[in-house]
């Protein structure tokens, strides 16, 4: 035993049981809110679950559509987290990336078809998002300004910039006062329900498009980046121990800047799904909090791409279920999902220790008891 | 017979499975300086934290002046007349001396009157004990020695009759240490009881009346200082005869590997941390760097390993990777230094050597992660794990689990992992800081043997250590640093602790001021003008 | 005189715009000076606004509304305090949680109770804080040139909370720099070890700080919903909490500096609504969006150290753990 300084609780406890308990706690408190407004939480959750997974009215598809957005913004937050950076700017990064969608589509959608436009839009979204992320990254690395504050400020600067761009430049080219015109239909990725007949199945209307596959590919890429590349190794070193990074010859400033570019690019990809594929035009405030949702997703998913997919599905289901809920129980606003989001962030993030410490203590005690028994047996 | 100022009876304190203090008994007589020595991790700091109410003992009794008292928090300790000067100062840097002293003892809700009262009391204490200080100076602008004085004043202002000093000299220059000891003398003559926690035997011999020795959480001996000697204390501290000489053949130095030429470093605050350091290092020798902590060794190590840019000077390296002349402005980073054929074990492994949350295998390649052998273009976990197993095998790292989180290894095993990482690559130059800090005896011998083996294979080894024993037994040549300069060079086999001790406290050149800090003291003066 | 009239009405509007910022910025100063980052100003303010509107509507008394707003904000503060102090959680995450929760709960509850899509019912003047004409304002405004109208339009005529806001700034300054509590608060944000070793409870200082921040956010929210406006609207804080945070940074965590920043930002907001479609000689029409972005831009520039340097309290955002 003397070689060991501490004993860790099992992996399934750390990344499975504990987040699950935290989620249960968040949902329990949300149920209290439902009770408070005089409705039955069990019934509400049933309706939400049904609404989220039913295939009849595109419920499941829309859940996946929301999840697509959340995967992008969740990955953005997670990549930055690995470098010890808290990127709250996903909202702004995604919003500015919407400008790239408009630039590409407004100039080229009459001349090029989807096969050429889509890659250009991806590049544009990633580039604009990266730009909006890299500036705070640069300021953190070179000027020491705190990334949290800078990214918050950049969200608001993005809001002002985009509202100016939309009102002054983009909406005059067609569309109404605060939105762009629709992109030409053969320049936009078709949605799943549009593709379905040619693939031999029927699907009801939803905003889901094959961009989901791009999101899943990004998950795989992020996993490779973080755990299989030298850059990922450097990112995690900088995030966990900047001093050790210096001694390992890792330039922390460079890593911070690169990480924020990647993070911003991932956030920007949300515009690819939302402003390009799903809505087919640029709408004022189209990000509508999806960027912030990335924080909850990353926390819940423990900054791991696989966890992020699960968390994104969960929140996608809550979003979709929430919209369904308002038809069945009109007194519950769809904004209820924000309450759940807040509680999840609170219990998985800020109050992590509340659940983690007692649960881990139980398993540690068991592990130590086992080890002692083993030692005694060995003697 | 007078009651002891402090009496501890069978104090026990556990942190999880670790006994930090076990059945501790201690008597400290009033008006004396009582030393407590022990190695790092022997439980000295925990014991003092219990006395000062930072921790509560699991069991045991505390008596102050013969009275049983219950110390649950610092406030109760203060009320019992106990004051503490922590190793890391507990000072609010943007506050003035006066504000720092009165914090927690304001006496009333409004500051104006509290301040004038405090000022009077502070002046009184300062003159009684000879602790001159400007009460309106901003603490952050004061040199370390004066900041420590503020800490002492804080304790006295709180009516401390018993003063605990935790490793007070680790951050002081020799001159400041001298001043501190004068202050302690003056406190003793005024009837203050002083508890001095240290691992430096010289200080114990110089100032204390009595000394208690701790080892592995237990109190192993009490002695009157004039009836003991450093050798006996050292033996008590480590629990057996200190290994004085490691079994080694005489060095046969080969070609020059590294030439350090007039390297100097001025830090952000304008303090000269290194002054014209020059030496050379040859293959097949161990060059020891001796000195009190904080005399420029850390900066020197950082510069030589690429973690810090020097302000002046140059270094030339002649290794298997070719000849490289390093100049200010184009200083390589740690990764390039490794490419130039240098391995290094940083002084503080948790801060600099490893990432605690990483798997052991990930730390086993940290710094070498760009090498192609770990997979290309992507990292290959099996290559990394196999390489780690090799390291673990060779350096007896236990448990041999590459996937175990590094934080879960004991200190000695973490250190062995770092040493294995740096030494198994057989670099031409090895820079090693405090190789055995916080490492158990068994591992120490192992590490020492491996350092000698590396030397005999032709490595040029620079060994920085605050443990004189270690330097004396391992090094072939020794340079001594004090106040950022080299104060002497000696041959290890022809010197002894006394000679090193003299060099460690002498200055390089007589006219060099200790605190040469133009910009900084200028600021301090300006503040004074503004206040006046 | 027309130019003066316009200027004075602009200044008067600036003060009204600055008022919620001032309350929130002072809240931020108490919290951050004690070492607790407060990203949650926005959410507290929002929930405070909602609670004030609801209570005032239900009771008919704006003072009860104020108390309701304060009570809710204290609750949210304690939640943030519990996460930050007791649970040693990430303070930024906790603050964000407060904001999300406030965004969601205000609309959810408002929607359930009043079925107006999250709005609360319109309040009558009796249920609001309305303007107060200071003694002699009318007479001075008519009879004394320049100074009179200045008094009448800029200084007089605001609701009581505006005057309270300025009082709070003075009070905050006094508390921070002239009281024992202020000394301890500032010390806690810089060097909690020093505070602990002086026998003062770091946790208690921090809890008190966040409670005060809650009270002040309650004022800020109340002002928005039942003084400046006559109902609660969804997301009616629209970033004011963050602007207040920017003002705290811009004011270098000092009440005087933060007040100046709030007045500047309030002025910009007042200007924003007035420059639309106004041609400015030489420059042309300035986009109103520029004005809404300026507070954020200059905060970024300041934080980057391009103009002066904002140095935060040293221990801000760091949970206090006793050293071993």
pLDDT at C50 over 90: yes
pLDDT at C210 over 80: yes
What was the pLDDT predicted at B170?
Answer: 73
Closest chain B residue to A244 measured between Cα atoms?
B352
Does the CB of B18 have a partner CB in chain C at under 8 Å?
no
> Looking at residues A34-59, what average pLDDT do you find?
90
Kindly report which listed range (A56-65, B493-502, C59-68, C279-288) carries the lowest average pLDDT score.
Answer: C279-288
Instruction: Give the domain B244-341+427-532 fold.
Output: Rossmann fold (3.40.50)
Both tokens of B479, joined, read 């340079």
Tell me the sheet residues that pair with B463: B288, B432
pLDDT at C249 over 60: yes
Query: What length is written for chain C?
Result: 324
Both tokens of B451, joined, read 């350092």
What was the pLDDT predicted at B368?
Answer: 92
Reported for A196-202, long-range contacts at CB under 8 A and 24+ positions apart, including other chains, are none
What was the pLDDT predicted at A379?
Answer: 42
Range with top average pLDDT, A1-15, A267-281, B486-500, C132-146: A267-281
Domain limits for position A242: 74-300
Distances (CA, A) of A156 to A90, A92, B53, B129, C247: 12, 7, 48, 58, 15
Peptide bond into B377 cis (omega under 30): yes
> Looking at residues B461-484, what average pLDDT do you find?
87
Higher pLDDT, C214 or B15: C214
What was the pLDDT predicted at B510?
Answer: 43
The region, left, alpha or beta by phi > 0 then psi within -120 to 50, assigned to residue B239 is left
Q: How far, in Å, CA of A61 to CA of B401, rounded?
A: 45
The C-alpha torsion from A361 through A364 and A365 to A369, rounded to 10°, is: 180
pLDDT at B512 over 50: no
What was the pLDDT predicted at B531?
Answer: 37
Domain count, chain C: 1
Domain containing C218 — which CATH number?
1.10.3470
Pairs of residues, one from chain A and one from chain C, whose beta carbons lie less than 8 Å apart: 164
What chains are in contact with B, requiring at least 3 Cβ pairs below 8 Å? A, C
Share of chain C above pLDDT 90, in %: 67
Domain count, chain A: 1
Closest Cβ–Cβ partner in A86, A160, A341 for C100: A341
Tens of pLDDT, residues B417-441: 999 999 888 899 999 998 887 676 6
Residue with tokens 């993070």: A263
- Mark yes or no for CB contact C178/B111 under 8 Å: yes
Tell me the sheet residues that pair with B19: B14
| Chain C contact set for B75 (CB, 8 A) | 199
* Banded model confidence at residue B1, pLDDT cuts 50, 70, 90: low
Tens of pLDDT, residues A73-117: 999 999 999 999 999 999 999 999 999 999 999 999 889 998 999
Secondary structure of chain A in the HEC alphabet?
Answer: CCCECCCCCCHHHHHHHHHHHHHHHHHHHHHHHHHHCCCCHHHHHHHHHHHHHCCCCCHHHHHHHHHHHHHHHHHHHHHHHHCCCCCCCHHHHHHHHHHHHHHHHHHHCCCCCHHHHHHHHHHHHHHHHHHHHHHHHHHHHHHCCCHHHHHHHHHHHHHHHHHHHHHHHHHHHCCCCCCCCCCCHHHCCCCHHHHHHHHCCCCCCCCCCCHHHHHHHHHHHHHHHHHHCHHHHHHHHHHHCHHHHHHCCCCHHHHHHHHHHHHHHHHHHHHHHHHHHHCCCCCCCCCCCHHHHHHHHHHHCCCCHHHHHHHHHHHHHHHHHHHHHHHHCCCCCCCHHHHHHHHHHHHHHHCHHHHHHHHHHHHHHHHHHHHHHHHHHHC
What was the pLDDT predicted at B460?
Answer: 94
Kindly report which listed range (A115-119, C186-190, C271-275) carries the lowest average pLDDT score.
Answer: C271-275
CA nearest B288: which of B434, B131, B456, B136?
B434
- Mark yes or no for CB contact A331/C91 under 8 Å: no
Domain limits for position C189: 2-126+137-303
CA nearest C40: which of C89, C109, C86, C107?
C89
H or E stretch at B306: none
* Banded model confidence at residue B239, pLDDT cuts 50, 70, 90: low
Assess contact for B270 and B521: CB atoms under 8 A.
Answer: no
* Banded model confidence at residue B240, pLDDT cuts 50, 70, 90: low
Assess contact for C212 and C41: CB atoms under 8 A.
Answer: no
For B518, half-sphere exposure in the C-beta direction (CA atoms, 13 angstrom radius) is 1
> Looking at residues B125-148, what average pLDDT do you find?
90
Q: How far, in Å, CA of B352 to CA of B71, rounded?
A: 37
Q: How far, in Å, CA of B216 to CA of B239, rounded?
A: 9
Q: How far, in Å, CA of C291 to CA of C276, rounded?
A: 11
* Banded model confidence at residue A4, pLDDT cuts 50, 70, 90: low
Q: Where are the domains of chain B?
A: 6-238, 244-341+427-532, 349-426
Q: How far, in Å, CA of A111 to CA of A102, rounded?
A: 15
pLDDT at A1 over 50: no
Pairing state between β C279-280 and C284-285: antiparallel
Interface test with A, best of C101, C246, C290 (most A CBs within 10 A): C101
Assess contact for C244 and C41: CB atoms under 8 A.
Answer: yes
* Banded model confidence at residue B445, pLDDT cuts 50, 70, 90: confident
Q: How far, in Å, CA of A360 to CA of C58, rounded?
A: 47
pLDDT at A12 over 50: yes
Average pLDDT of chain B is 86
> CB within 8 A of B88, min separation 6: which ones?
C193, C323
Closest Cβ–Cβ partner in B100, B103, B110 for C178: B110
Closest chain A residue to B308 measured between Cα atoms?
A246
Higher pLDDT, B444 or B318: B318
What was the pLDDT predicted at A58?
Answer: 85
| Chain C contact set for A300 (CB, 8 A) | none
Pairs of residues, one from chain B and one from chain C, whose beta carbons lie less than 8 Å apart: 78
pLDDT at B513 over 80: no
| Chain C contact set for A86 (CB, 8 A) | 90, 92-93
What was the pLDDT predicted at C146?
Answer: 84
pLDDT at A258 over 60: yes
- Mark yes or no for CB contact A230/B398 under 8 Å: no
Does domain B6-238 fall under CATH 2.60.120.560? My reply is no
Assess contact for A41 and A336: CB atoms under 8 A.
Answer: no
pLDDT at A278 over 90: yes
pLDDT at B160 over 60: yes
3-state secondary structure at position C194 = helix
> Looking at residues C188-215, what average pLDDT do you find?
94
Orientation angle between helical segments A59-82 and A41-53, nearest 10 degrees: 90
| Chain A contact set for B408 (CB, 8 A) | 4-8
Q: How far, in Å, CA of A86 to CA of A79, rounded?
A: 9
Residue with tokens 């509507």: C57
What chains are in contact with A, requiring at least 3 Cβ pairs below 8 Å? B, C
Residue with tokens 């103009």: C307
What was the pLDDT predicted at C123?
Answer: 93
Both tokens of B336, joined, read 């390039």
What was the pLDDT predicted at C11?
Answer: 93
The C-alpha of A7 sits at a distance from chain B's nearest C-alpha, in angstroms, of: 6
Closest Cβ–Cβ partner in A143, A148, A351 for C92: A148
- Mark yes or no for CB contact A5/B408 under 8 Å: yes
Q: How far, in Å, CA of B498 to CA of B290, rounded?
A: 13
| DSSP tag of B277 | E
> Looking at residues B313-336, what average pLDDT do you find?
92
In a domain, residue C313? The reply is no
- Mark yes or no for CB contact A145/C292 under 8 Å: no
Tens of pLDDT, residues C96-151: 999 999 999 999 999 999 988 889 999 999 999 999 888 888 888 888 888 888 88
Interface test with B, best of C33, C185, C193, C199 (most B CBs within 10 A): C199
For A236, half-sphere exposure in the C-beta direction (CA atoms, 13 angstrom radius) is 23
pLDDT at A70 over 90: yes
* Interface list for chain A against chain B, based on CB atoms closer than 8 Å: 1-8, 224, 227-230, 233-234, 236-237, 240-241, 243-244, 246-251, 368
Question: For the CA atoms of chain B, what is the radius of gyration?
Answer: 25
- Mark yes or no for CB contact A145/C113 under 8 Å: no
Higher pLDDT, B117 or A371: B117
Residue with tokens 């949210």: C76
Tens of pLDDT, residues B65-111: 999 999 888 888 988 999 999 888 899 999 999 999 999 888 888 99
Closest Cβ–Cβ partner in C182, C200, C322 for B104: C200
pTM score, whole prediction: 0.89
H or E stretch at C255: helix C255-274
* Banded model confidence at residue A161, pLDDT cuts 50, 70, 90: very high
Higher pLDDT, B440 or A316: A316
Question: For the CA atoms of chain A, what is the radius of gyration?
Answer: 23
For A109, half-sphere exposure in the C-beta direction (CA atoms, 13 angstrom radius) is 21
Peptide bond into A149 cis (omega under 30): no
* Banded model confidence at residue B238, pLDDT cuts 50, 70, 90: low
pLDDT at B524 over 50: no
Both tokens of A100, joined, read 């790239």
Tell me the sheet residues that pair with B281: B258
């Amino acid at each position: 035993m003397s070689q060991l300084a501490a004993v860790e609780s099992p992996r399934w406890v750390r990344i499975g049981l504990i987040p699950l308990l935290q989620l249960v706690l968040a949902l329990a408190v949300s149920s209290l809110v439902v009770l408070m407004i005089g409705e039955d939480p069990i019934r509400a959750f049933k309706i939400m679950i049904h609404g989220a997974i039913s295939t009849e009215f595109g419920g499941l598809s829309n859940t996946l559509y929301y999840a697509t957005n959340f995967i992008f913004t969740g990955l953005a937050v997670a990549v930055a987290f690995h470098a010890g950076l808290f990127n709250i700017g996903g909202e702004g990064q995604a919003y500015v990336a919407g400008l790239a969608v408009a630039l590409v589509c407004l100039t080229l959608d009459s001349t090029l078809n989807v096969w050429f436009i889509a890659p250009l839009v991806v590049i544009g979204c990633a580039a604009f998002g990266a730009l909006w992320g890299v500036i705070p990254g640069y300021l953190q690395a070179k000027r020491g300004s705190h990334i949290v504050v800078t990214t918050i400020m950049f969200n608001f600067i993005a809001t002002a910039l985009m509202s100016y761009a939309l009102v002054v430049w983009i909406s005059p080219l067609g569309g109404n006062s605060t939105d762009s015109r629709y992109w030409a239909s053969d320049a936009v990725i078709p949605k799943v329900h549009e593709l379905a007949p040619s693939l031999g199945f029927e699907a009801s209307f939803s905003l889901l498009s094959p961009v989901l596959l791009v999101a899943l590919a990004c998950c795989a890429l992020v996993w490779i980046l973080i755990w299989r590349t030298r850059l990922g190794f450097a990112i995690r070193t900088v995030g966990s121990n900047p001093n050790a990074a210096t001694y390992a010859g890792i330039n922390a400033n460079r890593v911070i800047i690169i990480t924020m570019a990647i993070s911003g690019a991932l956030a920007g990809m949300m515009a690819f799904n939302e402003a390009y594929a799903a809505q087919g035009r640029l709408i004022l405030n189209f990000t509508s909090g999806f960027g912030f949702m990335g924080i909850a997703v990353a926390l819940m998913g423990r900054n791991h791409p696989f966890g992020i997919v699960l968390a994104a599905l969960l929140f996608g289901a809550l979003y979709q279920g929430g919209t369904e809920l308002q038809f069945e129980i009109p007194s519950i606003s769809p904004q209820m999902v924000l309450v759940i989001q807040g509680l999840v962030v609170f219990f998985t993030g800020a109050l992590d220790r509340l659940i983690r410490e007692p649960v881990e203590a139980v398993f540690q005690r068991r592990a130590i008891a086992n080890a002692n028994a083993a030692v005694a047996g060995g003697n | 017979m007078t009651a002891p100022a402090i009496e501890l009876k069978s104090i026990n304190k556990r942190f999880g499975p670790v006994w930090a203090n076990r059945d501790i008994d201690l008597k400290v007589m009033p008006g004396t300086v009582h030393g407590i020595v022990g190695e790092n991790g022997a439980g000295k700091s925990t014991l003092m934290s219990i006395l000062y109410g930072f921790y509560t003992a699991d069991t045991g009794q505390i008596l102050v002046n013969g009275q049983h008292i219950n110390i649950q928090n610092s406030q109760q300790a203060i009320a019992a007349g106990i004051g503490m000067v922590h190793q890391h100062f507990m000072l609010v840097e943007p506050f003035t001396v006066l504000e720092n002293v009165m914090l927690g003892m304001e006496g009333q809700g409004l500051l104006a009157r509290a301040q004038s009262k405090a000022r009077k009391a502070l002046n009184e204490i300062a003159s009684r004990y000879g602790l001159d200080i400007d009460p309106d100076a901003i603490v952050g602008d004061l040199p370390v020695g004066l900041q420590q004085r503020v800490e002492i004043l804080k304790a006295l202002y709180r009516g401390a009759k018993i003063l605990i000093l935790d490793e007070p000299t680790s951050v002081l220059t020799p001159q400041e240490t001298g001043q501190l000891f004068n202050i302690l003398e003056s406190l003793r003559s005024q009837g203050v009881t002083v508890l001095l926690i240290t691992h430096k035997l010289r200080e114990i011999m110089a100032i204390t009346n009595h000394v208690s020795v701790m080892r592995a959480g237990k109190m192993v001996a009490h002695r009157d200082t004039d009836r003991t000697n450093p050798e006996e204390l050292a033996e008590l501290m480590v629990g057996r005869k200190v290994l004085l000489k490691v079994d080694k053949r005489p060095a046969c130095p080969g070609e020059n590997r590294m030439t350090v030429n007039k390297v100097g470093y001025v830090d952000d605050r304008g303090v000269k941390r290194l002054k014209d350091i020059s030496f050379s290092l040859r293959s097949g020798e161990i060059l020891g760097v001796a000195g009190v902590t904080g005399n420029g060794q850390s900066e020197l190590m950082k510069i030589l390993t690429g973690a810090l840019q020097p302000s002046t000077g140059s270094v030339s390296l002649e290794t298997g990777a070719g000849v490289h002349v390093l100049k200010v402005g184009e200083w390589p980073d740690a990764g390039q230094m490794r490419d130039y054929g240098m391995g290094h074990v940083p002084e503080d492994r948790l801060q600099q050597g490893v990432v605690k949350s990483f798997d052991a295998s990930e730390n086993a390649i940290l710094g070498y992660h760009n090498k192609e052998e770990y997979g290309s273009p992507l990292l290959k976990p099996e290559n990394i794990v196999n390489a780690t197993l090799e390291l673990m095998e060779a350096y007896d790292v236990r448990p041999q689990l590459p996937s175990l989180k590094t934080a879960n290894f004991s200190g000695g095993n973490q250190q062995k992992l770092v040493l294995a990482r740096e030494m198994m690559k057989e670099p031409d130059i090895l820079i090693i800081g405090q190789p055995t800090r916080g490492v158990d005896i068994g591992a120490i011998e192992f590490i020492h043997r491996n350092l000698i083996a590396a030397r005999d294979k032709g490595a040029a080894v620079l060994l920085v250590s605050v443990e004189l024993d270690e330097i004396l037994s391992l090094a072939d040549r020794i340079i001594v640093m004090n106040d950022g300069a080299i104060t002497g060079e000696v041959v290890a086999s022809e010197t002894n602790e006394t000679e090193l001790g003299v060099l460690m406290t002498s200055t390089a050149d007589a006219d060099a001021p200790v605190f040469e800090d133009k910009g900084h003291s200028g600021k301090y003066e300006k503040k004074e003008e503004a206040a006046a | 005189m027309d130019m003066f009239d316009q200027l004075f009405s602009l200044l008067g509007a600036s003060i009204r715009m600055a008022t919620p910022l001032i309350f929130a910025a002072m809240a931020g100063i108490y919290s951050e000076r004690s070492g607790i980052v407060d990203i949650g100003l926005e959410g507290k303010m929002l929930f405070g606004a909602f609670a004030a509107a609801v209570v005032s509507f239900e009771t008919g008394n704006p003072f009860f509304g104020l108390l309701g707003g304060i009570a809710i904000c204290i609750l949210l503060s304690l939640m943030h305090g519990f996460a930050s102090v007791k649970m040693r959680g990430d303070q930024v995450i906790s603050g964000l949680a407060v904001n999300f929760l406030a965004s969601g709960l205000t609309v959810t509850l408002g929607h359930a109770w009043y079925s107006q899509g999250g709005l609360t019912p319109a309040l009558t003047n009796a249920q609001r804080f309305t303007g107060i004409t200071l003694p002699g304002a009318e007479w001075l405004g008519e009879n004394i040139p320049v100074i009179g109208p200045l008094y009448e339009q800029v200084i007089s005529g605001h609701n009581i909370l505006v005057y309270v806001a300025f009082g709070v700034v003075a009070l905050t300054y006094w508390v921070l720099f002239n009281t024992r509590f202020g000394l301890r608060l500032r010390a806690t944000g810089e060097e909690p070890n020093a505070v602990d070793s002086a026998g003062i409870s770091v946790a208690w200082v921090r809890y008190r700080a966040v409670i005060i921040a809650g009270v002040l956010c309650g004022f800020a929210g109340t002002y928005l919903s039942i003084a400046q406006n006559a109902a609660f609207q969804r997301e009616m804080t629209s970033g004011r909490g963050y602007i207040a945070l920017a003002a705290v940074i811009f004011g270098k965590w000092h009440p005087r500096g933060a007040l100046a920043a709030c007045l500047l930002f309030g002025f910009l907001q007042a200007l924003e609504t007035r420059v639309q479609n106004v041609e400015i000689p030489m420059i042309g029409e300035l986009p109103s969006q520029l004005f809404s972005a300026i507070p954020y831009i200059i905060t970024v520039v300041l934080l980057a150290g391009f103009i002066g340097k904002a140095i935060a309290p040293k221990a801000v955002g760091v949970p206090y753990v006793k050293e071993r």
